[in-house]
Amino acid sequence: MRSSLVLLTALVALAAYYIYIPLPSSMSDPWKLMLLDATFRGAQQLSNLIHYLGLSHHLIALNFIIISFGKKSAVSSAQVKVTDTAFDGVEVRVFEGLPKPEEPLRRSVIYIHGGGWALASAKIKYYDELCMTMAEDLNAVIVSIEYRLVPQVYFPEQIHDVVRATKYFLQPEVLKQYSVDPGRIGISGDSAGGNLAAVLVQQFSQDANLRNKLKLQALIYPVLQALDFNTPSYQQNVNTPILPRYVMAKYWVDYFKGDYDFVQAMVVNNHTALDVYEAAAFRAHLNWTSLLPSSITKNYKPVVQTTGNARIIKELPQLLDARSSPLIADQEVLQNLPKTYILTCEHDVLRDDGIMYTKRLVNAGVDVTLDHFEDGFHGCMIFTSWPTNFSVGIRTRYSYIKWLDQNL
């Protein structure tokens, strides 16, 4: 009996040690976040073991775990019709809300899910529930794109998928089929999905035939650049769940099918050191000392290496491509963008990406709403139902849908 009690005590202590991480008191539901983070870390470590044993790629294994616990079939409700189909060969899940009696044509949002270009799905419950809610609350048609993921494909194939699906949907005959008002269509996405949405809008803005097809863009804690992993938010949230800095840098390397040996050099900005001449032209677009307010910069200092690793940019020139890092796009591109909503969270390495993009868009004359949540963390908006229901998740979702309702 005594030995069993000792063993139980030891197991509880080990579990507590694994789960507990110090979190700011201002963060929403910190103990619940610790449990969520521990679960995700456990899944990551299991997938890494599977990769090490040669059984599967670690991202395929991790996504299998994620989808196994959350895949949801296309089930309609009384208010929303849900169907799985394909637009120009790209899988999509379409959510059709009921039209308003006085508006026979409905609004529409094209939604792109997050997951580091490698994880999640339009068909897991988190995104299914989000899009169901959007369709019902907005009386809208929501098109959730099931783009291909790393390691099945790499940059820029994810972009090609969302562009193909969006162009197909924007055809007059398709909009007529879904009873969508062609003047009231927006695009949105979270995290890596926000990156893909921002890239698509920039591409459309440079095409005279597509420039005015999208009324707005709504970007939820988007990832927008890979040149500086030492912005104040990266420094402040270096180990903050559920997206530590090192993990974000690995997602970038995976997206480009790069060498993991580059990750450690990238997190200290060796890939954009002063002697890496290819990066010099983009530094002005990422000068956070001028793009961020003093309330954000505080006492943080820029990390600029004198000598770096030029091999990284030579092997991964995609790092300097605006199709991967829309924050570095030229001003001439930004000035043609539609009305924009950007949601940022204080406890998120990507916070400053969104705030800097807001500043650059404002400087370009774009109408922008920055919606910042002091107790928010990366990914929080999809966590609104038990057991992963967070107060800030509910509030961010409400604020996001309210803005769409008022502006679309």
Confidence check: pLDDT of 384 > 70 = yes
Give pLDDT, residue 56: 95
Q: Which of 246, 250, 232, 228 is nearest to 308 (CA)?
A: 228
pLDDT value of position 283? 82
- pLDDT at res. 305: 94
Condensed to tens digits (0 to 9), the pLDDT of residues 232-250 reads: 999 999 999 999 999 999 9
Length of the chain: 408
Q: Whole-model pTM?
A: 0.96
- DSSP states of 328-366 as a string? G--HHHHTT--EEEEEEEEE-TTHHHHHHHHHHHHHTT-
For residue 82, the SS3 value is: strand
Looking at residues 203-231, what average pLDDT do you find?
A: 96
Say if residue 392's pLDDT is above 60: yes
pLDDT at 105: 96
* 3-state secondary structure at position 298: coil
**What DSSP assignment string belongs to 245-277?**
HHHHHHHHHHHTT--TTHHHHHHTTGGG-TT-G
22-32 pLDDT, tens digit each: 898 889 999 99
Supply the pLDDT for residue 13.
59
pLDDT surpassing 70 at residue 220 = yes
pLDDT band at 19 (very low <50, low <70, confident <90, very high): confident
Q: List pLDDT tens digits, range 323-359.
A: 999 999 999 999 999 999 999 999 999 999 999 999 9
Percent of the chain with pLDDT over 70: 96
Q: For position 74, what pLDDT does the model report? A: 96
Q: Which of 24-33, 144-153, 372-381 has the weakest average pLDDT? A: 24-33
Beta-ladder partners of 85: 92
Each residue of 281-325: pLDDT tens digit? 888 889 999 999 999 999 999 999 999 998 999 999 999 999 999
Lowest-pLDDT choice from 36-45, 127-136, 159-168: 36-45
Output the average pLDDT for the chain: 94
**In this model, does residue 7 exceed pLDDT 70?**
no
pLDDT higher at 403 or 212:
403
Query: Which residues touch 174 (CB under 8 Å, ≥6 apart)?
Result: 87, 168
Q: Where are the beta strands (DSSP E) in 192-238?
A: 216-220
Higher-pLDDT residue of 100 and 340 is 340
Active-site positions read 191, 348, 378
Identify the pLDDT of residue 83.
Answer: 98
- Dihedral of the alpha carbons of 22, 221, 169, 179, in degrees to the nearest 10: 90
Q: List the structure tokens of 140.
A: 């809208």
Identify the band that residue 102 occupies on the pLDDT scale cut at 50, 70 and 90: confident
Tokens, residue 77: 């409700």
Quick check: 17 pLDDT over 60?
A: no
* pLDDT band at residue 375 using 50, 70 and 90 as cut-offs: very high
Residue 6 confidence class, pLDDT cut points 50, 70, 90 = low
- Rounded to an integer, the average pLDDT of 134-145 is 98
Q: What is the pLDDT of residues 176-189, one digit of tens each?
A: 999 999 999 999 99
Q: In the prediction, which pLDDT does 5 show?
A: 63
> Residue 1: which pLDDT band, with cuts at 50, 70 and 90?
low
Residue 25: predicted pLDDT: 85
For residue 94, what pLDDT is reported? 98
